[in-house]
């Protein structure tokens, strides 16, 4: 009984520590800002590590030795120049978010967005968090609002549709298969969309959404579902059956499974479980975990 209490207390303390860290992370995001503002004003509010993250995400070279004020000034010039490339990473949700911000004179109330969502948008220099009249807002500096208005076009809309499809199919593949090498993912996306995939564009888009949605992780093997811990064991299981093809899910099934919070209890999932039972040793717990993951 004493050991049980020790363990429970340790878990409780751990939860409190995690909550404290999350609160600090949350509080550090929201800084007073005079709005409307220029990009340099928003960047000057950021910490050096936050500026460095933008520099790394946007692949700006030879800037690592700069002081905070120097880096902020350079970024204020480079971000608008490269804003088109950043917008070409967006999917439907992130694109609609920016549209809503621009439509609302450059800022909106923070809704149910997670800290990770906000940090990712800030980390790519897309949107910034701030306290405006003591309210937590997501805002865009004047230069970025103007650039978005100039770049928002039917071409960008097509890119957003393409990216959304890429993302949902890829997340759906990870949902069902757990882990796949990048080449196989790209080839499958090409097969399902019937369009040639630019490898660099694809990698950049998936890199962005892996930060934003946290459903996909990169590994030295390729991509994996974020819920898969021991991906190497999964790869070993795949390699034991080199002649066994992956279950042939339809494009619509991948897209549905690629949406956040998806739970599959359809006839297709039942067929998939039968397929796994024929080729793998599955316990009842394994089956239940696959269905609920």
* pLDDT tens digits for range 119-142: 999 999 999 999 999 899 999 999
Q: Does residue 146 share a domain with residue 160?
A: no
Q: How many CA atoms lie within 13 A of 224 on its CB side?
A: 16
Q: Does residue 243 share a domain with residue 180?
A: yes
Provide the 10 A C-beta neighbour count for residue 182.
17
Q: Does residue 188 share a domain with residue 146?
A: no
Exposure class string for 17-45: b at 16+ Cβ within 10 A, else e: eeeeeeeeeeeebbeebebebebbbbbbb
Indicate the burial class of 1 (C-beta count within 10 angstroms; 0-12, 13-18, 19 or more). Answer: exposed
Residue 42: both structure tokens together: 């928003």
| Residue 159 pLDDT class (50, 70, 90 cuts) | very high
Question: 32-64 pLDDT, tens per residue?
Answer: 999 999 999 999 999 999 999 999 999 999 999
Q: Does residue 238 share a domain with residue 286?
A: no
Residue 204: both structure tokens together: 């950049």
Residue where a domain terminates, one of 94, 128, 151:
151
Tell me which residue range forms the domain holding 283: 263-293
Q: Is the pLDDT of residue 268 over 70?
A: no
Distance CA 75, CA 201 (A): 22
Q: Does residue 125 share a domain with residue 43?
A: yes
Distance CA 44, CA 73 (A): 8
| Residue 23 pLDDT class (50, 70, 90 cuts) | low
Question: 203-233 pLDDT, tens per residue?
Answer: 999 999 999 999 999 888 889 999 888 878 8
| Residue 258 pLDDT class (50, 70, 90 cuts) | confident
Angle at Cα 151 formed by Cα 74 and Cα 38, nearest 5°? 40
| Residue 276 pLDDT class (50, 70, 90 cuts) | low
End-to-end CA distance of the chain: 33
pTM of the model: 0.81
155, 55 contact by CB (below 8 A):
no
| Residue 9 pLDDT class (50, 70, 90 cuts) | low
75, 55 contact by CB (below 8 A):
yes
Q: Does residue 125 share a domain with residue 29?
A: yes
């Amino acid at each position: 009984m004493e050991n049980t209490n020790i363990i429970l207390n340790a878990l409780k303390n751990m939860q409190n520590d995690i909550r404290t860290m999350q609160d600090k992370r949350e509080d550090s995001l929201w800084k007073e800002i005079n709005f409307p503002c220029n990009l340099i004003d928003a960047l000057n509010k950021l910490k050096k590590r936050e500026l460095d993250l933008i520099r790394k995400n946007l692949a700006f070279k030879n800037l690592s030795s700069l002081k905070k004020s120097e880096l902020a000034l350079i970024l204020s010039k480079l971000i608008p120049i490269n804003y088109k490339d950043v917008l070409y990473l967006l999917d439907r949700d992130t694109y609609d978010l920016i549209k809503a911000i621009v439509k609302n004179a450059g800022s909106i109330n923070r809704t149910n967005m997670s800290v990770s969502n906000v940090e990712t948008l800030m980390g790519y220099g897309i949107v910034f968090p701030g306290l405006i009249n003591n309210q937590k807002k997501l805002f865009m500096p004047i230069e970025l609002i103007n650039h978005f208005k100039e770049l928002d076009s039917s071409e960008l809309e097509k890119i957003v549709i393409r990216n959304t499809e890429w993302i949902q199919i890829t997340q759906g593949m990870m949902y069902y298969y757990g882990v796949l090498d990048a080449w196989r993912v790209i080839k499958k996306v090409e097969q399902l969309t019937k369009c040639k995939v630019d490898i660099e564009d694809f990698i950049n888009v998936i890199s962005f959404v892996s930060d934003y949605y946290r459903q996909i992780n990169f590994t030295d093997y390729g991509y994996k579902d974020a819920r898969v811990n021991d991906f190497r064991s999964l790869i070993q299981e795949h390699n034991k059956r080199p002649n066994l093809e992956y279950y042939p899910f339809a494009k619509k099934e991948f897209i549905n499974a690629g949406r956040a919070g998806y739970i599959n209890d359809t006839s297709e999932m039942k067929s998939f479980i039968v397929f796994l039972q024929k080729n793998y040793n599955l316990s009842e717990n394994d089956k239940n975990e696959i269905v609920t993951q």
